[in-house]
């Protein structure tokens, strides 16, 4: 077990709705990154949080937003859900933030289905 937990594990939402996904990072880790993995594809970087601030963002629209809390847990929010948002959402926990200094540990993911 990696010590990174995500909730919920599965979720079904309707197009146009909003969703919040949660991630608890591994103890001692201060950096959380979020990835979207569509079926048959590799994970795609959404954004990273380091010490409660956004530390980089991938090619995702503003309706994807995030937050990191003082205990370094994190949320991913997606507004105005579209069918193409259906994917496995992965959270990765690491320590550092200025380079991939430590191994990134992934949570088990949240499988989101938009209907």
Task: Give 91's strand partners.
Answer: 34
How many residues in the shown chain lie near other proteins by CB under 8 A? 29
Residue 28 tokens, joined: 């001692």
Q: Which of 2, 5, 73, 86 binds other proteins (CB under 8 A)?
A: 2
CB of 28 to other proteins, least distance (A): 17
Does residue 10 belong to the site contacting other proteins (CB under 8 A)? no
Phi then psi for 21, rounded to 5 degrees?
Answer: -110, 145
User: What gap in Å lies between CA 113 and CA 88, rounded to an integer?
Assistant: 9
Beta-sheet pairing, 19-24 with 10-13: unpaired
Query: How far is residue 68 from each of residues 9, 14, 48, 49, 95, measured CA to CA in Å?
Result: 19, 26, 9, 6, 14
For the bound state, the minimum distance from the C-beta of residue 90 to other proteins, rounded and expressed in Å, comes to 6
| Of residues 23-62, those binding other proteins (CB under 8 A) | 31, 33, 35, 40-45, 48, 50, 55-58
Sole binder of other proteins in the list 16, 61, 96, 115 (CB under 8 A): 96
Residues forming contacts to other proteins in the complex (CB under 8 A) are 2, 31, 33, 35, 40-45, 48, 50, 55-58, 90, 92, 96-100, 103-104, 106-109
């Amino acid at each position: 077990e990696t010590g990174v937990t995500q909730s919920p594990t599965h979720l079904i939402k309707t197009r146009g709705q909003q969703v919040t996904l949660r991630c608890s990072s591994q103890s001692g880790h201060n950096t959380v990154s979020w990835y979207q993995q569509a079926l048959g594809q590799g994970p795609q970087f959404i954004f990273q949080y380091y010490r409660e601030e956004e530390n980089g963002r991938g090619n995702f629209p503003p309706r994807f937003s995030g937050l990191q809390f003082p205990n370094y847990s994190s949320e991913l929010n997606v507004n105005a859900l579209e069918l193409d948002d259906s994917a496995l959402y992965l959270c990765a926990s690491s320590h550092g933030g200025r380079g991939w200094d430590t191994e990134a540990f992934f949570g088990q993911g949240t499988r989101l289905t938009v209907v």
